[in-house]
Structure 1
Amino acid sequence: MGIIMEYGFFRVKGVWIMDSELLQRFASEIADFMGPNSSEDARTVQKGLMLYRQGLVTQLAFNQDMVTATVQDVTPVKVSLDLSFFSMSKCSCPSDEWCRHKMAVFFAAYSRIGSVADWVEAWREPMKEKQAAASWGVQAAKDLIKANGVLKPDYGRWVHSFEVSFDTLLHSKKSTTPYVVEELFKIYERQIRAAAPLEKEWRLLYEMVGTVISFKKLAMLSEQSGHSEELTKRTYGQVFDQLLDDADELVEKIGMQSMPFDFDEFILKLKDDTFGLLTCVQGLEFERIYLYRLLWTGLFKKKEWREEEVLKIKERMKELQDWENPGPLMIAGIHLHFLLQKDDSALRSIHSCGDEFVTPYMIHWIDFLSGQKAWKRVGPVIELFLGKIKRYLDQLDGYRSCASFTRTAIRAIAPFCGENDRFDLFEKALAQTLPYSFSDYEYVLFERGMYDKWCEVQAFIGLNFYDIPKERVKVIEKEKPELLLALLHQSAQREIDAKNRSSYKMAVRHLKKLRTIYKKVKRVDDWEYFFETLLERTKRLRAFHEECKRSKLIES
Structure 2
Amino acid sequence: MSSFPALNDEQWLKLLEQVAKTFNEVTLSRGFNYFKQQRVAALTLSENRIVQAKVTGSEDYSVTLNLEKFLSSHCTCPVQNSCKHLAAVIMELADRLGYPASQIVNATYHLKRTASNSSTESLLTQLPDMDIFKWHELLNQYTVHVKPAYDQGTYMNVLRYELQNIRKLAVPFSAIDWVYFELHQQLFILRKIKEQNVQGRITDYTSSSLYRMYDEIHAWLQQQSALFDFTLSEERLQQTLSYIRQQLVEENGHKYLDYGLYTALWKYWIVPYPDANDWISQEINHMEKLTDESNSSSLSAAKAFLYLNQSRNDDAWAALEAGDMLKKAPKSLFLPFLSHISAARDWVSLIEWLLRTAPYFYGQRNRELDAYMGYWKEAVVHVPDAEKHLWNVLDGMLPHSALMIEDLLYEQQKWKPWLELQILNGHDPFYHRVSVLQPIEKEAPNLLLPYYHQAIEYYVSLKNRHDYKLAVKLLKRLNKVYKKMKQLERWDRFLTRFMERHSRLRALQEEIKKGKLLE
TM range (shorter): 0.5 to 0.7
Partner Cα separation in structure 1 for residue 374 and residue 325 of structure 2: 24
* Corresponding residue of 1:5: none
* Corresponding residue of 1:484: 448
* Corresponding residue of 1:445: 412
Partner Cα separation in structure 2 for residue 544 and residue 502 of structure 1: 17
Is 1:146 matched with 2:122? yes
* Corresponding residue of 1:162: 136
Is 1:365 matched with 2:337? yes
TM superposition shift of 1:231: 0.6
Decide which of 309, 313, 331 is 1:339's aligned counterpart: 309
Is 1:502 matched with 2:466? yes
* Corresponding residue of 2:403: 435
Equivalent residues of 1:413, 1:426 under 8 A apart: no
Partner Cα separation in structure 1 for residue 328 and residue 511 of structure 2: 53
**Residues 285-300 of structure 1: matches in 2 within 5 Å?**
285=255, 287-297=257-267, 298-299=269-270
Residue 493 and residue 332 in structure 1: after superposition, are their counterparts in 2 closer, same or farther (change >3 A)? farther
Q: Give, as a single letter, the amino acid of the residue that structure 1 aligns with 2:306.
A: L
**Residues 361-510 of structure 1: matches in 2 within 5 Å?**
361-386=333-358, 388-389=360-361, 391-392=362-363, 394=364, 402=366, 404-405=367-368, 407-421=370-384, 424=387, 428=391, 433-435=401-403, 441-442=409-410, 444-446=411-413, 450-459=414-423, 462-466=426-430, 468=432, 476=440, 480-488=444-452, 490-492=454-456, 495=459, 500-503=464-467, 506-507=470-471
Residue 451 and residue 302 in structure 1: after superposition, are their counterparts in 2 closer, same or farther (change >3 A)? closer
Q: TM-score w.r.t. structure 1 length?
A: 0.52
* Corresponding residue of 2:241: 271
Residue 167 and residue 228 in structure 1: after superposition, are their counterparts in 2 closer, same or farther (change >3 A)? farther
The gaps in structure 1 that reach 5 residues or longer are 1-134, 321-325, 397-401, 536-541
Equivalent residues of 1:465, 1:487 under 8 A apart: yes
Partner Cα separation in structure 2 for residue 144 and residue 544 of structure 1: 92
Residue 514 and residue 547 in structure 1: after superposition, are their counterparts in 2 closer, same or farther (change >3 A)? farther
Equivalent residues of 2:423, 2:451 under 8 A apart: yes
Equivalent residues of 1:496, 1:507 under 8 A apart: yes
Partner Cα separation in structure 1 for residue 464 and residue 291 of structure 2: 65
Equivalent residues of 2:218, 2:264 under 8 A apart: no
Residue 350 and residue 455 in structure 1: after superposition, are their counterparts in 2 closer, same or farther (change >3 A)? farther
Decide which of 194, 215, 224 is 2:190's aligned counterpart: 215
Report the 3-state secondary structure (helix = DSSP H, G, I; strand = E; otherwise coil) of the residue aligned with 1:198.
coil
Equivalent residues of 1:289, 1:332 under 8 A apart: yes
Partner Cα separation in structure 1 for residue 218 and residue 437 of structure 2: 48
Report the 3-state secondary structure (helix = DSSP H, G, I; strand = E; otherwise coil) of the residue aligned with 1:272.
helix
Residue 461 and residue 353 in structure 1: after superposition, are their counterparts in 2 closer, same or farther (change >3 A)? farther
Residue 454 and residue 273 in structure 1: after superposition, are their counterparts in 2 closer, same or farther (change >3 A)? same
Decide which of 172, 181, 185 is 2:156's aligned counterpart: 181
TM superposition shift of 1:309: 0.9
**Residues 53-92 of structure 1: matches in 2 within 5 Å?**
none
Q: Give, as a single letter, the amino acid of the residue that structure 2 aligns with 1:188.
A: L
TM superposition shift of 1:384: 3.7
Report the 3-state secondary structure (helix = DSSP H, G, I; strand = E; otherwise coil) of the residue aligned with 1:285.
coil
Residue 173 and residue 470 in structure 1: after superposition, are their counterparts in 2 closer, same or farther (change >3 A)? closer
Decide which of 208, 215, 224 is 2:199's aligned counterpart: 224
TM superposition shift of 1:370: 1.9
Residue 230 and residue 337 in structure 1: after superposition, are their counterparts in 2 closer, same or farther (change >3 A)? farther
Partner Cα separation in structure 1 for residue 233 and residue 221 of structure 2: 17
Partner Cα separation in structure 1 for residue 213 and residue 437 of structure 2: 51
Q: TM-score w.r.t. structure 2 length?
A: 0.56
TM superposition shift of 1:182: 0.9
* Corresponding residue of 2:281: 303
Q: Give, as a single letter, the amino acid of the residue that structure 2 aligns with 1:294.
A: A
Report the 3-state secondary structure (helix = DSSP H, G, I; strand = E; otherwise coil) of the residue aligned with 2:127.
coil
The gaps in structure 2 that reach 5 residues or longer are 1-109, 271-275, 513-519
Partner Cα separation in structure 2 for residue 511 and residue 551 of structure 1: 11
Q: Highest CA radius of gyration, 1 or 2?
A: 2
Residue 244 and residue 469 in structure 1: after superposition, are their counterparts in 2 closer, same or farther (change >3 A)? closer
Partner Cα separation in structure 2 for residue 473 and residue 148 of structure 1: 65
* Cα shift readout 1:382-435 (whole Å, capped 9, x = no counterpart): 33455554x23x2x5xxxxx3x45554454445444344568379748887442
* Corresponding residue of 2:290: 312
* Cα shift readout 1:173-195 (whole Å, capped 9, x = no counterpart): 37676424312333225428847
Q: Give, as a single letter, the amino acid of the residue that structure 1 aligns with 2:163.
A: Y
